[in-house]
């Protein structure tokens, strides 16, 4: 009968810690590495963007997530009004502003 089905023999006992303890330590170390490499920097960037969006004021030159460059001419609780060109105004959400540009950026690009 050994030809079709192999015999199953009991294994000898392992050490007191067993292999499960090493796996647990590896998972904890892996989580700590992911926290410091991925999670923490992303939280920091999100916090900086939230502060930047809250501090927008009239006259700031900004770039939106869509790539539009404009000057803020109106500020509301949730929206800002951008002037993209003379007489061309667009209303966007505060969170859609991705970058605050230095003053004079629009003038230097128009020349």
Burial of 80: CB neighbours in 10 Å, binned 0-12, 13-18, 19+ = buried
- Whether this prediction's pTM lies above 0.85 is answered by no
CA distance 101 to 63: 7
Alpha helices in 1-111 (DSSP H): 20-34, 40-54, 105-110
What does the CA dihedral 25, 28, 31, 33 come to, rounded to 10 degrees? -60
pLDDT tens digits, residue range 56-78? 999 999 999 999 999 999 999 99
What 8-state DSSP symbol labels residue 87?
Answer: T
* pLDDT tens readout for residues 10-56: 776 555 555 678 888 999 999 999 999 999 999 999 999 999 999 99
Are 98 and 60 spatial neighbours (Cβ–Cβ below 8 Å)? no
């Amino acid at each position: 009968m050994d030809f079709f089905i192999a015999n199953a023999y009991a294994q000898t006992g392992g050490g007191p810690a067993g292999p499960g303890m090493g796996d647990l330590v590896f998972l904890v170390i892996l989580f700590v590495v992911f926290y410091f490499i991925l999670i923490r920097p992303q939280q920091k960037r999100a916090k900086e963007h939230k502060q930047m969006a809250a501090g927008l004021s009239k006259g700031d030159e900004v770039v939106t997530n869509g790539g539009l460059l404009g000057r803020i001419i109106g500020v509301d609780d949730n929206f800002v009004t951008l002037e993209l060109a003379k007489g061309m105004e667009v209303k966007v959400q505060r969170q859609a502003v991705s970058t605050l540009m230095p003053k004079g950026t629009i003038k230097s690009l128009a020349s």
